[in-house]
Amino acid sequence: MNPWALGGVALTAVMTFTLAVWGSRGAHTTSDFLLARRMVGVERNAAAIAGEYLSAASFLGVAGLMLKDGIEALWYPIGYTAGYLALILFVAAPLRRSGAYTLPDFAQVRLDSARLRAVSTVLVVLIGWLYLVPQLQAAGVTLSTITGIPYSTGILLVALVVLTGVLSGGMRAVTLVQAVQYGVKLFAISVPVFVLFFVFLGDDDRHRRSLDEPLPPVFERATTVRIETDVRLRVTEPVWVDVLAGPGPEELHDTVGRGEDSRESVYLTTGIHRVASGSELRFPEGSAVPVVADAEPSNRSWLLPQDGDSYELFETYSLMLSTFLGTMGLPHVLMRFYTNPTGQGARRTTLVVLGLLGVFYLFPTIFGVLSRFYVPQLLVTGNTDAAVLLLPTAVLQGWPGELIGAITAAGAFAAFLSTSSGLVMSVSSVLFTDLLPGKLGNFRWIALGSCILPVALALIAIGRDISQSVGLAFAMAASTFFPLLVLGIWWRRLTAAGAMGGLIVGGGLVLLAVLTGAFLGDGYGWWSAVLLQPAAFTVPAAFVVTVVVSKITSGRVPADTGRVMMRMHTPDRLGFLRDRSLEESAGQDGDSAERGRRGRHRLVRSRRAR
Amino acid sequence: MAVVTTNSTPERPHPRAPRRKRVVLANRSGAREVQRTVIDLEDQNSMSEALVHSLVRAQLRAALVLAAVAGLVLGALPVLLRFVPALSEVRPFGVPLPWLVLGVFPFPFILMIGYLGTRWAERNEREFTELVQR
């Protein structure tokens, strides 16, 4: 328990709320608000996109995976960034010009099919949930790591904070808040990295040499490890452990020997051992670290890309496909593009986002590498996502370590606060405009309702490897909305039936993979690689189905395709940009002024009138 | 809403000189003015159809070329690093080359491709605008 960290978390929450309230004060009428939003500069807009995008998966998960998987994990930040390259090249400007505010909007504008719109809505909600559950899980892990409160209390607490923010209306609407969140996160990751790295350089350099050896990492001092969930440990170098509490390692393949003394020392021989939750193990100083079964057991295979199983290469390529092409289908990302005034602005904003993300992602790598030396016990528990939180106190004793720990805790809190708010906001406004008629007007209930299932799921299962679980949301987005968006923007002969086929095949396959994976539990090897990274199969399948079905139903290309294509691709200054929220609000300025006060201007618009 | 209109002078200034822009906060009636001076694209005749077609093709070509470059370079890295162990023996500042190649290089590289993509797309749009405004 680190009281400083608690302070850091509280500070982040208070700052966010203050900024949200202060920022939304200026906008009083709908048009006021719209204009203010539209004149937001490219830089601030980009910072807001990056601030909302950098989730706990980036802040905690990347370093955690790096601690576990080593060099292969570097593909996560690359993929998270490269997704925006695909956005620049194929999507940003035309999508902005189409005037679509959400993906269902786009489906309707382009293909004029209510059924397609409904299916897109379902998928947006699904993707939002797939993304939200790991965020909440990480929140639970973070809060229980730094404060000692139970995992479930942490989740409920964060859900409460997010909901309060979304319901009070300020959180999502104010670009400023998200832009500042980017700054908070960059500060919270870069400053600790600099400090810790210099401390590390001051330490002796035996560390650096030891990484090169084909040996497991080593406990530098005697370490007590508490196992919270059942794990399977891979032991490559036999090790003595004391079982302080709980059932301890189970006997598998006759490999566990019982020591004779009363302290229940256990000799773990090489092989795989199962350890039940509730066990407390004490490793003596200098002993080798047994690692969870799916982590790289030896330092050399961790450091270098040559060693490793053949499925790792498949995983890497599948991951590239899902992250490169999946970012364009994430609901909270797409929604932010609407704040750009023009298509050209959207493109330039994305370019700045690329720069901001590139700067940020230089830092988690160093966290991941340092964790391998200082917090190897996380490899035993499997709770590697906590690396960023625990590293500071492991490297620096006393208050400096706690202060740095407070900074990273605050950054982590900012990460899941901003991303979760964005997700809840975008999911519930999609639900609001699509599933329930606008006049019902009860946005709050929908926001509340759209939180319940993700919170329940997060409570059921403790999250592991948040970057990987978030990867499934990317795979889902890439297998459904990538064909719809890219073909919709660039291919005239796309039909509603084709798009529908792609959504159903891609979404169905990924869902199948997710459910099968959840059913089979964690593991390693080819099967789990395919289930965890299904994009290599599902994305091409969805793309091909979309094209083939469109060709079969070629008679049903919407009549106004040419007009929509022209609107999407002709330069902004020719003046075809359509903003229906603007057009509509122009006529009803008087009565919408009241409703627009809290930045919920976009919720007053009715269904698209055609 | 902000409507950006260009001063429609008959002879165009030097192409490098920044065009003068007038930013008007007005309703959409201002935008109609601009549309009438250009070829009427909204009127779906074969001429405008062909123009938009060629713009879309040019933009798609730009996007595909750059995506292919990015995909080939980044896509080659996993195979290259895995099957050429000699690369891991190169250690500038004691850091194995694969870590630098994956931890640092992709970000400026992606940014550069993005910059080229933005410029290329904007050039295509400029050419299109000049074409229809002539």
Task: Assess if residue A507 is contained within a domain.
Answer: no
C-alpha distances in angstroms, A345 versus A115, A336, A415? 32, 12, 26
Task: Assess if residue A382 is contained within a domain.
Answer: yes
Instruction: Give yes or no for a contact between A509 and A537, defined as CB atoms under 8 angstroms apart.
Output: yes
Q: Which residue has the higher pLDDT, A451 or A583?
A: A451
Task: Assess if residue A23 is contained within a domain.
Answer: yes
| Exposed / middle / buried, residue A580 (Cβ in 10 Å: 0-12, 13-18, 19+) | middle
Which residues in chain A are contacts of B88 at CB distance < 8 A?
304-306
For A324, nearest residue in chain B (alpha carbons): B71
Residue A262, domain extent:
223-288
Task: Assess if residue A261 is contained within a domain.
Answer: yes
A572 interfacial to chain B (CB closer than 8 Å): yes
For B107, nearest residue in chain A (alpha carbons): A358
pLDDT at residue B4 tops 50: no
Dihedral sign of CA atoms A113, A114, A115, A117 in order = positive
Q: Which residue has the higher pLDDT, A202 or A138?
A: A138
- pLDDT-derived band at B16 (thresholds 50, 70, 90) equals low
In whole angstroms, what is the distance from residue A139 CA to residue B108 CA? Answer: 31
- pLDDT-derived band at A340 (thresholds 50, 70, 90) equals confident
Task: Assess if residue A517 is contained within a domain.
Answer: no
Which residues in chain A are contacts of B28 at CB distance < 8 A?
583, 586
pLDDT at residue B11 tops 50: no
A34 interfacial to chain B (CB closer than 8 Å): yes
Which of A436, A463, A490 is a domain's end point? A463
Most A CBs within 10 A among B102, B124, B131, B134, hence the mutation to make, goes to: B102
How many A×B Cβ pairs under 8 Å? 157
Task: Assess if residue A526 is contained within a domain.
Answer: no
**Domain count within chain A:** 2
For B48, nearest residue in chain A (alpha carbons): A566
pLDDT at residue A578 tops 60: no
Residues A62 and A158 in one domain: yes
Query: Mean pLDDT over all residues of chain A?
Result: 79
Q: Using alpha carbons, select from A450, A510, A390 the residue that is nearest to residue A145.
A: A390
Torsion of CA A561, A563, A565, A570, to 10 degrees: 170
Share of chain B above pLDDT 90, in %: 31
In whole angstroms, what is the distance from residue A138 CA to residue A534 CA? Answer: 23
A562 interfacial to chain B (CB closer than 8 Å): yes
Residues A335 and A408 in one domain: yes
In whole angstroms, what is the distance from residue A37 CA to residue A52 CA? Answer: 16
pLDDT at residue A463 tops 50: yes
Residues A14 and A107 in one domain: yes
Residues A187 and A322 in one domain: yes
pLDDT at residue B110, as a whole number: 95
Task: Assess if residue A355 is contained within a domain.
Answer: yes
Q: For the ranges A226-240, A290-304, A348-362, B36-50, which has the lowest average pLDDT?
A: B36-50
pLDDT at residue A77, as a whole number: 94
Strands B2-6 and A265-268: unpaired
Average pLDDT over residues A76-93: 93
Q: Which residue has the higher pLDDT, A357 or A150?
A: A357
Tell me: the pLDDT tens digits for A511-546? 898 888 777 766 667 777 788 888 989 999 999 999
Element (H, E) at A226: strand A223-226
pLDDT at residue A40, as a whole number: 64
In whole angstroms, what is the distance from residue A501 CA to residue A495 CA? Answer: 10
pLDDT at residue A325 tops 90: yes
A570: tokens are 């002709």
Average pLDDT over residues B10-34: 48
Tell me: the pLDDT tens digits for A307-319? 667 788 888 899 9
> Which of B:46-105 have CB within 8 Å of A?
48-49, 52, 55-56, 59-60, 62-63, 66-67, 70-71, 74-75, 78-79, 81-83, 85, 88, 94, 96, 98-99, 102-104
